[in-house]
């Protein structure tokens, strides 16, 4: 597996503090404007409603379902993922759709809870959804997995890197992003290359957290190491007192965090209050912009692995495209999560373009599998008949004390 970084260099030196390292990162935020949550939520829900059309036009609309958190402690992940996907699909529809069909992206709020995601998926299937796109979260996706396999409904671009959705291979599931194994391997490689071998793991007590823990343990074991401490937090909570008490006394050089932005921010604050002086690494699912917004100046030095190109500059064609589209429509924030939603929708519709008119699900799958070694504006996508993982790209970014994300 190839691990890519933007600079190809190691960023830290032994003993360097997080704050001292900020000067090594030079790319400012493209925009620091904070999205109005109410406006975005309204827009997302508005986009989920079918437009009143004549019966013949309704029949030509292709229903795509998306279950994400629009409320609760993980809401920004779902709101941003949906905003990016909708931004691309709105452009497709404005140009007449694909093969004579417009696309209805119907979003449903699951609050990052598995039972609600399963119920949303059942409703999409009952409503004859053609495919599912851009679901968010491991436990939620896992709850939908039996339905996906039973119905053989295409399930594209979930916002998760868990192995449970990758092994065993499913003909219906396509992944745009690298895995949590890829992300945690890069994190551990980065730390141990600097001699920072005392690594603890703070993880969410569910399928997502355990997937990240397993990846970290595997990466450490490869280097004849093991975590110096582990502790958990329950999904959709910020009760981190027990985890702080179990991890801080172990004097870890770094804590790898496998949770969402609210609980990770709470742990960072409380650990520092308890005297912890090490650094924090997160996987991409944390929600980079959401974590930066939560921590503000307290985010200085916090590291996050990434599976998408850096979205805050126009140095990559796909980010220039997203920025231009977001600026034109307004109320869409350019960040890692919206970029992932945008790319997921763009690659999905490319598969649809490659399928014949009035395609079956099987023909859509064949169309997606035909996307091989394709450059989507600087993000390479490579599928195949027995390989539904588009990319193994992994990078690192850092939060700074002035509300910026740098790499």
Q: What predicted TM-score, i.e. pTM, was given to this entire model?
A: 0.86
Note the pLDDT of residue 280: 98
pLDDT at residue 35 tops 50: no
Q: Which of 62-76, 117-131, 257-271, 320-334 has the lowest mean pLDDT?
A: 320-334
**Domain-embedded: residue 131:** yes
Strand partners, 133: 156
pLDDT at residue 3 tops 70: no
Does 151 lie in the same domain as 220? no
H or E element, residue 184: helix 180-193
Note the pLDDT of residue 331: 84
Q: Average pLDDT in the 217-240 region?
A: 98
Q: Count CB neighbours of 244 within 10 A.
A: 20
* Count of structural domains within the chain: 2
Does 271 lie in the same domain as 255? yes
Backbone φ and ψ of 181, nearest 5°: -60, -40
CATH number of the domain encompassing residue 27: 3.40.50.2300
Tens-digit pLDDT profile for residues 394-407: 999 999 998 899 98
Q: Count CB neighbours of 273 within 10 A.
A: 10
Does 262 lie in the same domain as 400? yes
Strand partners, 173: 155
Does 167 lie in the same domain as 45? yes
Tens-digit pLDDT profile for residues 272-283: 999 999 999 999
- Which residues span the domain enclosing 239? 19-32+180-311+395-406
Q: Which of 43-57, 181-195, 295-309 has the lowest mean pLDDT?
A: 43-57
Does 100 lie in the same domain as 49? yes
Does 357 lie in the same domain as 321? yes
Contact by Cβ (8 Å): 236, 113: yes
Q: Which two tokens stand for residue 90?
A: 């709105």
Q: What is the DSSP letter of 205?
A: S
pLDDT at residue 81 tops 60: yes
Does 283 lie in the same domain as 187? yes
Strand partners, 254: 199, 279
Note the pLDDT of residue 38: 46
With pLDDT > 90 as the criterion, what percentage of the chain qualifies? 83
**Measured between alpha carbons, how far is 196 from 73 in angstroms, rounded to an integer?**
31
């Amino acid at each position: 597996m190839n691990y890519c970084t933007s600079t190809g260099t190691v960023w830290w030196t032994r003993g360097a503090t997080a704050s001292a390292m900020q000067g090594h990162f030079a790319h400012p935020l493209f925009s620091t404007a904070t999205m109005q949550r109410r406006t975005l939520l309204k827009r997302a829900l508005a986009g989920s409603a079918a437009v009143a059309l004549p019966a013949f036009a309704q029949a030509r609309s292709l229903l795509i379902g998306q279950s994400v958190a629009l409320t609760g402690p993980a809401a920004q992940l779902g709101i941003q993922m949906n905003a990016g996907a909708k931004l691309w699909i709105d452009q497709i529809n404005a140009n007449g759709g694909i093969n004579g069909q417009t696309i209805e992206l119907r979003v449903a709020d699951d609050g990052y809870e598995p039972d609600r995601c399963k119920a949303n998926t059942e409703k999409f299937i009952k409503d004859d959804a053609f495919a599912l796109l851009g679901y968010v979260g491991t436990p939620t996706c896992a709850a939908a997995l039996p339905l996906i396999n039973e119905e053989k409904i295409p399930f594209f671009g979930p916002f998760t890197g868990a192995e449970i959705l990758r092994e065993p291979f499913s003909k219906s599931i396509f992944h745009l992003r690298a895995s949590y194994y890829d992300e945690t391997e890069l994190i551990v490689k980065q730390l141990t290359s600097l001699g920072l071998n005392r690594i603890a793991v703070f993880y969410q007590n569910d399928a997502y957290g355990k997937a990240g823990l397993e990846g970290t343990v595997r990466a450490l074991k490869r280097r004849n190491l093991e975590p110096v401490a582990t502790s958990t937090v329950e999904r959709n909570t910020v009760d981190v007192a027990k985890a702080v008490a179990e991890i801080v006394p172990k004097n870890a050089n770094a804590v790898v965090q496998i949770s969402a932005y609210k609980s990770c921010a709470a742990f960072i604050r409380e650990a520092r209050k308890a005297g912890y002086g090490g650094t924090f690494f997160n996987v991409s699912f944390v929600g980079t912009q959401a974590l930066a917004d939560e921590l503000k100046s307290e985010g200085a030095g916090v590291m996050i692995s990434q599976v998408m190109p850096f979205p805050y500059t126009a140095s990559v064609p796909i980010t220039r495209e997203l920025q231009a589209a977001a600026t034109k429509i307004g109320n869409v924030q350019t960040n890692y999560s919206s970029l992932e939603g945008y790319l997921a929708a763009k690659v999905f519709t490319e598969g649809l373009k490659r399928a014949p008119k009035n395609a079956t699900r099987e023909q859509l799958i064949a169309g997606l599998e035909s996307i091989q070694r394709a450059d989507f504006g600087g993000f390479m996508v490579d599928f195949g008949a027995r390989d539904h993982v588009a990319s193994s790209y992994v990078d690192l970014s850092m939060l700074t004390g002035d509300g910026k994300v740098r790499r």
